Structure 1
Amino acid sequence: MKRSSGARLGATAAVSALTLALITGCSDSGSDAKDAKGSPDSGSSSSAPAAKALTPAELEKLLLAQGEVKGYRVTSGDDTLPKSKKAVKTDKADCDPLAWATAGLAPGQTDASASNSVAEDKASTATAQPDSVEDAFDVNMTFVGLSSYDGDGAEQAMKAVSGGVTACSGGYGLAAGEEKSKVTKVAPAKASGLGDESVAFSEDVDMDGEGTATFHTEVVRKGNTVATFYTVNFAALGTGKAAEIPAAVVKAQVAKLK
């Protein structure tokens, strides 16, 4: 017997710690970055000047702004995403970069980061008026994070993400604020191929007795700046259908990076 759309929305939204716990009320203004200790890339020139990280203010200016992607609206990430990695914890250190990327946080070790959200703007289409409460939630929302690094920190961040996809294939435990959830599976996914390198992965999440939900994340490096993209559709949480990361959003954001 089918439950009402409102009941299904309430149940699925309430148990999805990977989404709701990461984007509501678990911010921490404290800094928790550490010095990156990765070895320099063997192919880099020793005479080339070391890359210098952009500041958070400079990254804010590189985030997508309203009107830059047709059919999408842009919202500041200040009140929707965690501000500190202290708010996002896993039970496997190798899985930390995956959880951080999902939360719009820097997947590597840096203090320089900024984030926002980019959602489908259905008011700009013929389906501006939703037929039900569930339809109103049927919107793909992408959380975008930018981070910048000194030296080879960006390359090391990408290696940490790639390594995490392999090391965490069997899943990991995630705690965000007071909420806890279980990622049961991590698998590589097809990346956009944009920037200097890109990595994508999917995560299956136990919905606390409501089945399993699949989420996609992509991480793209351009120079010493890393962009992360994580997309969720709240109306689809209980359907088993994964929301795809909009190619237009990734393309537009990467194009703005230096």
Structure 2
Amino acid sequence: MKRSPGARLCATAAIGALSLSLLTACSDDGAKDAGDAKGSASSAASTAASAASDAEALPKAGLEKLLLAQGEIKGYKVTSGDDTLPASKSVVKTDKEACAPLAYAMSGLAPGDTESNASNTLTEDNASAAATKSPGDISQSDIESAFKVKMTFVGLSSYEGDGAEKAFTSVSDGVAACSGGFGITAQGEKQKITKVASEQASKSGDESVAFTVDSDVDGGGTATFHTQVVRKGNTVASFYTVDFASLTSTGKSSAVPGAVVAAQVAKLK
């Protein structure tokens, strides 16, 4: 049976986030719309070369301590990325080598050459009335509210020497190199990115870049997603947001929340 536009959009959101488990959160109703955005990447001053050469990568356990924890950012629920994001780069493939760092950044994985990586998921707190009502008292409005899910996937990676600078450059260079799109295969599922465009970044950390991707929806239109990558010292943070309510109504996910970026970067050393 052919899926409805709403279901296809939700499937795209799940695959775009490279997370098959998100498929169960999708409803079967919605609309689609093509979207694109223009912007520009921004960067702050780089750290001194001597400091970069002496940098040592933090282990995974160290990065996990730097991830935002429950209670550290108001209005968000924080959960592990283990159940919603790919476990390793081995399950994420692109048909263009230059575009791999973008795919990794979109999936909470290290965009550069390092084994030190940690991730989690921040969901905007949506206190739906349905959770406190008996089944017979739940209204259509309660149900619609329950599906207003906005998630941001956060990945941290740490590098030795100038590895963080190289990782960041691979992302910023990839935005231009992959502007015409690329293909992704994640956990056996294929997805076609039809367009990549830069947009205004947060100017956080030492360097920051932001971009949007337009993702094909089963040949029935496109859905737009936002990603931001920030380098602070020898740590690179990536942020990818999926907003199901916005996707099903406009075909465009919300921008990466500035509060999430600011709070996460503030924890980095």
Shorter-chain TM range is 0.7 to 0.9
Distance 1:132 1:53 in 2: 47
Q: Which residue of 2 aligns with 1:3?
A: none
Q: CA deviation at 1:43?
A: 6.0
Out of 171, 190, 215, the position equivalent to 1:205 is 215
Q: Please say which of residues 75-84 and 140-149 is displaced more in the overlay.
A: 75-84
Q: CA deviation at 1:57?
A: 0.2
Contact 1:16 1:207 in 2 (8 A): no
Q: Which residue of 2 aligns with 1:88?
A: 92
Partner letter of residue 218 of structure 2?
D
Deviations 1:200-239 (A, max 9, x none): 1000011113311000000001100010000001233342
Distance 1:140 1:42 in 2: 34
Q: CA deviation at 1:241?
A: 2.5
Q: CA deviation at 1:132?
A: 4.4
Tell whether 2:178 aligns with 1:168: yes
Partner letter of residue 257 of structure 2?
P
Distance 2:220 2:210 in 1: 26
Q: TM-score, normalised by structure 1?
A: 0.84
RCO higher in structure (CA 8 A, sep ≥6): 2
Deviations 1:70-114 (A, max 9, x none): 111101111111011111111000000000000000010100000
Out of 182, 188, 191, the position equivalent to 2:198 is 188
Tell whether 2:121 aligns with 1:117: yes
Distance 2:48 2:163 in 1: 15
Out of 234, 238, 241, the position equivalent to 1:228 is 238
Percent identical among aligned pairs is: 61
Q: Please say which of residues 75-84 and 95-104 is displaced more in the overlay.
A: 75-84
Contact 2:53 2:162 in 1 (8 A): no
Distance 1:44 1:15, change over 3 A: closer
Stretches of structure 1 that go unaligned for 5 or more consecutive residues are 1-5, 26-40
Contact 2:52 2:234 in 1 (8 A): no
Out of 43, 60, 63, the position equivalent to 1:59 is 63
Q: How do 1:136-155 and structure 2 match up within 5 A?
A: 136-155=146-165
Q: Please say which of residues 234-243 and 201-210 is displaced more in the overlay.
A: 234-243
Q: TM-score, normalised by structure 2?
A: 0.81
Contact 1:142 1:229 in 2 (8 A): yes
Tell whether 2:19 aligns with 1:23: yes
Out of 245, 252, 255, the position equivalent to 1:244 is 255
Stretches of structure 2 that go unaligned for 5 or more consecutive residues are 22-45, 131-139
Q: CA deviation at 1:189?
A: 0.8
SS, match of residue 208 in structure 1: coil
Structure with the largest fraction of helix: 2
Q: Which residue of 1 aligns with 2:72?
A: 68
SS, match of residue 49 in structure 2: coil
Q: CA deviation at 1:242?
A: 2.7
* CA RMSD, Structure 1 to Structure 2 (Å): 2.2
Distance 2:151 2:65 in 1: 21
Contact 1:137 1:233 in 2 (8 A): no
Distance 2:9 2:47 in 1: 47
